[in-house]
Structure 1
Amino acid sequence: MEVLLHKLETQLAGLPVPLSVALPGGKRIGSPDPAVRLEFNDWSGLATFAAGLIGKVAEDFVEQRVRIEGHMRDVMAAAAALLPGSPVPSDTGWWTQVLRRAKSLANHTPQKDAEQIRFHYDVSDDFYALWLDPRRVYSCAYFREPGYSLAQAQEAKLDHICRKLMLQPGERFLDIGAGWGGLLLWAAEHYEVQATGITLSHNQHAYVNELIEKKGLKGRVRMLLRDYRELEEDESFDKIASVGMVEHVGLVNMSAYFGKIWRLLSPGGLVMNHGITAGALEPGQLGAGMGEFIGKYIFPGGELLHASLLLREMAIGGLEMVDTENLRPHYARTLWAWSDALEARLEEARAVLERSQGAEAAGRVLRAYRLYLAGCAMSFERGWIALHQFLATRPDGRMSTGKHRGAQSPYPFNRDYIYR
């Protein structure tokens, strides 16, 4: 016990923010004027903390085996300093990869995917509305100008995607994983496309169809409750977007996923794949228990792949990457905006969740989301994960298509058109 206490006192003295720890029994060690306070119910939790297993500490917080008080930015600064090393996975052994592939296979049947999507996205529309922007865009914003608010940055992101896709009036546009309809409706209202969105979330499906009705867009916009694998291939699309969806596909389905997009995309068409990417070259999840925490409480079945692996799978699927952009620090700023918004309305969030979940579950969900939003913001800041936009084409095989001979799509092979 003395060894553990000595280790703890040494760790606490080296943290970038003042922190105190209440031990089982009441004794307190650390800073007399802490920015972050932790209170442990048992010694096993304290040993987990001393070992730097911050994902397990987060689980103890959700399950009320430990109390954490303090601003989430300070909590995450302390958490990062407690890590024994980089949490980016480095185990590339063949047996580890075999096990990961087997787990991916089990996690990504159509039925499992539907259950996992609803676990996260059907928590409560009112809960998400408390901390998202008014359009409920639940993906990385684009802070084109430093002074942008979150709402402005989300609209900038929607337009950034539409510009990259070169959307034109009357084109058939598909949004795979359309969420609460932000991109789907923006594309229809600002670019006059014929828009189709799909989701596996019952809440999102109902919400977007209500918006379509209210906005008088019926006939031009439709939102389907459908798995991407179930889309009929007799209908093709000029442009396709997938925003925040690829993380749910799974390694084992990636070739089939991009192959499906290729078959749905008209020859010469453009597709935008916007998604979180891993820092590790080989498939895996963040260490120190962080990956397990996200899988248990937030995104069951979620899998992050390195940008190079996604590009490989796109190429196998017949798509040609024409532009890649990394928005990693934009997502850190987005997540901090979400985290700050939730922290400012904790009691309201608890009341909203209690109406749909009951008191006990509401507390668990709220504690999990507090750590999830702040923890992800920290992970993007530190480069453990990233956010890539891949723009790709389905080449039409015609040397005369496009601005340059051999382009085989309308893409002009320069970025000027995006920023005009």
Structure 2
Amino acid sequence: MNTSTSTSTATSDAALPAHRLEAVIFDWAGTLVDFGSLAPTQIFVEAFATFGIDITLAQARGPMGLSKRDHIRTLLEEPTILAQWQRRFDAAPGAQDIDALYERFMPMQIDKVGAYSQPIPGAVETLAWLRAQGLKIGSCSGYPRQVLDVLLPLAAANGIVPDHVVAGDELPAGGRPGPYMALANVLALKIGDVRKCVKVDDTTPGIEEGRNAGMWCVGISLAGNEVGLTEEALGRLPLSCVQGVKAPRRGAADEDTRMSQATEVAIRSVERGLVPDRLIRIGIRRLLRERLDELHDGDAAAVAALTQAFVHDMRAASLAPLPEKANEQHYEVPAAFFGAVLGTHRKYSSCHWPDGVDTLAQAEASSLAATCERAGLADGQEVLELGCGWGSLTLWMAERYPGSRITALSNSHSQRAYIEAEAARRGLSNVRVLTRDINVFDTDERFHRVVSVEMFEHLRNWPQAFANVARWLRPDGRFFMHVFAHRGAPYPFVERDASDWMSRYFFSGGMMPSDDLALRCQDDLRVLAQWRWDGTHYQRTAEAWLRNMDERRTTLMPLFHDTYGADADAWWVRWRLFFMSVAELFGYDAGQRWWVSHYLFERRA
């Protein structure tokens, strides 16, 4: 079968020459028909959703190969799904619940299976070749007989006609991973020695079925459940993206490991520039859906528990775990890169795109003006800016409030040099830039205003940080904070596997605050006001950065070669992927999952 790779594992006591084989027993979905084994997985998701239970496609694929009733039972034993069920129904699922889900699943599966009856390319030719060698063709499936009764005539019309078929629900002994369906084929085909049979399957339970029956086994990987892509999607990937994908083996059923390996292979191909943007964005959205599943988005009780645990850990954490990483990861590239990619104000944070704003420069100005208005800035104030970036807000404040003195804090020497040079060029004498580690920074000065734009996401212990800010404020001072946020639970950026690409290259030690996280840290500061920009504002900002980067590739590539050397091309792709990921994150669900939050605080008395 020319679209899949396979591995063979001998399970008999003595190897047999090929000419002594007498039968090959095939699985159906993902092996003979239904490229990617798509029909069952989506229906499981939809069936569970009718009970108010959200499962991912990855979870639905986990027990694939089992009979459908056993599949449902196994899914209900999965910890996160079990917890959802118990929260919703105030009881653990029982046999009646399995029956109810099965009854909901069956008509949906029967209705959809015909749409997935096309043979996998090469399957018809493979069956013809095997018959020409004198071999008999058996088959078995996790599908129940009702579903197979719909599928079989459609498959036969396309040339898939095995000598025997066993359904997943028709043997009293049970189904996979037990050997019973495979052995039922042996009896029906009148094969005298199981070692003269080969079992072909795309799932771990199906391979275990063959092994338990004492047969040779061949695992299908690319066309089946292990990869789970349509033929079109797989065909768009380069060969390097699929090399090394292994067929399922005994003891290799760990879904997390499989997904991590597949993600790592995919990311390597992306970094080589071999995957089109459209497919990259599809992959990003899939990871975002998985992140939301992990955060139990929409489950109020679970979100509250996750948030409480995060706040508990946050209070015991260091102020900023990896301050050097922000500088290393974002500012190793020369300032000229940001000058070409960002807008005219060099604002390296979300911009504001209200009606009538159509350009990045306008959106930068709109956001800077909103920050000053919401912070209550006025001429003559002492202002401390925490995390000044490339000076967009620093220089904006200095120009519009010439009687104020602006103290800007950064941990980047290149940023300080740029801001000081730009202030001198504009004739601004009211700017002072300090290069400090926020972990040790302190001052005896007191300020009318402290402002911070997208710096607190790099911190971890907000209660400690807020206590410091309260100490630096004058009695009537105010603190304005702009952060991006998630509407549900907060979470840290930690590199757990290849899918945590953002944590590895761009946000080590950072966190995604929740919208309400600041409200839980009011020991020393009190929230006076709160505002939000939905995530589409950040989406448009990141898309504009990406567009600028692409349009200036010829100019920028020499900078990348000077900075990254032999890895210049890979880092070009990483920066593009970073901007793309930011856009997809904040654009998800029309900007209603992740967004930008503004807060105004005063000192507590």
TM-score, normalized by length of structure 2?
A: 0.54
Unaligned runs of 5+ in 1: 15-22, 398-420
> How far, CA to CA, are the matches of 2:36 and 2:271 in structure 1?
16
- Which residue of structure 1 lines up, in the alignment, with residue 596 of structure 2? 387
> How far, CA to CA, are the matches of 1:83 and 1:194 in structure 2?
42
Alpha-carbon distance, 1:310 to partner: 2.0
- Which residue of structure 2 lines up, in the alignment, with residue 242 of structure 1? 452
> How far, CA to CA, are the matches of 2:585 and 2:494 in structure 1?
9
| Pairwise CA RMSD | 4.1
Alpha-carbon distance, 1:249 to partner: 0.4
Alpha-carbon distance, 1:285 to partner: 5.2
Which of residues 19, 43, 49 is equivalent to 2:244? 43
- Which residue of structure 1 lines up, in the alignment, with residue 396 of structure 2? 186
> How far, CA to CA, are the matches of 2:517 and 2:381 in structure 1?
30
The 3 A distance-change label for structure 1 pair 328 and 138 is: same
Q: Does 1:307 align with 2:335?
A: no
Alpha-carbon distance, 1:317 to partner: 2.5
- Given that 2:263 and 2:499 are in contact with CA atoms closer than 8 Å, whether structure 1 keeps it comes out as no
- Which residue of structure 1 lines up, in the alignment, with residue 295 of structure 2? 90
> How far, CA to CA, are the matches of 1:140 and 1:32 in structure 2?
33
> How far, CA to CA, are the matches of 1:182 and 1:217 in structure 2?
14
- Which residue of structure 2 lines up, in the alignment, with residue 113 of structure 1? 322
Asked which structure has the greater CA Rg, the reply is: 2
> How far, CA to CA, are the matches of 1:364 and 1:297 in structure 2?
12
- Given that 1:349 and 1:366 are in contact with CA atoms closer than 8 Å, whether structure 2 keeps it comes out as no
- Which residue of structure 2 lines up, in the alignment, with residue 332 of structure 1? 539
Which of residues 418, 421, 426 is equivalent to 1:210? 421
Secondary structure of the structure 1 residue equivalent to 2:378: coil
The 3 A distance-change label for structure 1 pair 58 and 261 is: farther
Counterpart of 1:393, as a letter, is E
> How far, CA to CA, are the matches of 2:479 and 2:586 in structure 1?
25
Structure 1 residues 170-218: Cα deviation after superposition (integer angstroms, max 9, x where no partner): 1111110000000001011012221110101121111111112222223
Counterpart of 1:210, as a letter, is A
Alpha-carbon distance, 1:53 to partner: 8.7
Secondary structure of the structure 2 residue equivalent to 1:379: helix
Alpha-carbon distance, 1:141 to partner: 0.2
Alpha-carbon distance, 1:273 to partner: 0.6
- Which residue of structure 1 lines up, in the alignment, with residue 16 of structure 2? none
Percent of aligned positions that are identical:
23
The 3 A distance-change label for structure 1 pair 277 and 33 is: closer
Secondary structure of the structure 2 residue equivalent to 1:228: coil
The 3 A distance-change label for structure 1 pair 293 and 216 is: same
Counterpart of 2:586, as a letter, is F
Counterpart of 2:326, as a letter, is I
Which of residues 190, 200, 225 is equivalent to 2:435? 225
- Given that 1:104 and 1:301 are in contact with CA atoms closer than 8 Å, whether structure 2 keeps it comes out as no
> How far, CA to CA, are the matches of 2:492 and 2:232 in structure 1?
36
Structure 1 residues 251-288: Cα deviation after superposition (integer angstroms, max 9, x where no partner): xx211101111111112222211011134325355999
The 3 A distance-change label for structure 1 pair 312 and 347 is: same
- Given that 2:493 and 2:509 are in contact with CA atoms closer than 8 Å, whether structure 1 keeps it comes out as no
Secondary structure of the structure 1 residue equivalent to 2:512: coil
Alpha-carbon distance, 1:130 to partner: 2.6
Counterpart of 2:513, as a letter, is L
User: Superposed, which structure 2 residues align to 1:268-287 within 5 Å?
Assistant: 268-284=476-492
Counterpart of 1:373, as a letter, is F
> How far, CA to CA, are the matches of 1:345 and 1:45 in structure 2?
41
- Which residue of structure 2 lines up, in the alignment, with residue 19 of structure 1? none
- Given that 1:205 and 1:225 are in contact with CA atoms closer than 8 Å, whether structure 2 keeps it comes out as yes
Unaligned runs of 5+ in 2: 1-5, 7-26, 43-221, 224-228, 249-254, 297-301
Alpha-carbon distance, 1:351 to partner: 2.4
> How far, CA to CA, are the matches of 1:308 and 1:392 in structure 2?
14
> How far, CA to CA, are the matches of 1:139 and 1:290 in structure 2?
26
Alpha-carbon distance, 1:365 to partner: 2.1
- Given that 1:54 and 1:290 are in contact with CA atoms closer than 8 Å, whether structure 2 keeps it comes out as no
Which of residues 72, 76, 86 is equivalent to 2:277? 72
- Given that 2:454 and 2:482 are in contact with CA atoms closer than 8 Å, whether structure 1 keeps it comes out as yes
- Given that 2:343 and 2:361 are in contact with CA atoms closer than 8 Å, whether structure 1 keeps it comes out as yes
Q: Does 1:258 align with 2:466?
A: yes
Aligned residues: 377
User: Superposed, which structure 2 residues align to 1:10-29 within 5 Å?
Assistant: 10=38
Counterpart of 1:280, as a letter, is G
Structure 1 residues 354-394: Cα deviation after superposition (integer angstroms, max 9, x where no partner): 1122122x233222222221112111111442221112222
Structure with more contact order per residue of length (Cα contacts < 8 Å, sep ≥ 6): 1
> How far, CA to CA, are the matches of 2:519 and 2:579 in structure 1?
27
> How far, CA to CA, are the matches of 1:302 and 1:46 in structure 2?
37
Secondary structure of the structure 1 residue equivalent to 2:517: helix
Secondary structure of the structure 2 residue equivalent to 1:342: helix
Alpha-carbon distance, 1:59 to partner: 4.9
Structure 1 residues 330-352: Cα deviation after superposition (integer angstroms, max 9, x where no partner): 11111111122223334543321
Counterpart of 1:294, as a letter, is M
Alpha-carbon distance, 1:128 to partner: 2.4
- Which residue of structure 1 lines up, in the alignment, with residue 338 of structure 2? 128
- Given that 2:388 and 2:408 are in contact with CA atoms closer than 8 Å, whether structure 1 keeps it comes out as yes
Q: Which moved more, 1:125-134 or 1:234-243?
A: 125-134
- Given that 1:165 and 1:270 are in contact with CA atoms closer than 8 Å, whether structure 2 keeps it comes out as yes
- Which residue of structure 1 lines up, in the alignment, with residue 412 of structure 2? 201
- Given that 2:411 and 2:436 are in contact with CA atoms closer than 8 Å, whether structure 1 keeps it comes out as yes
Counterpart of 2:462, as a letter, is M
Structure 1 residues 265-323: Cα deviation after superposition (integer angstroms, max 9, x where no partner): 1122222110111343253559996872111011111111212122211x123233323
- Given that 1:176 and 1:245 are in contact with CA atoms closer than 8 Å, whether structure 2 keeps it comes out as yes
Counterpart of 1:195, as a letter, is I
TM-score, normalized by length of structure 1?
A: 0.75
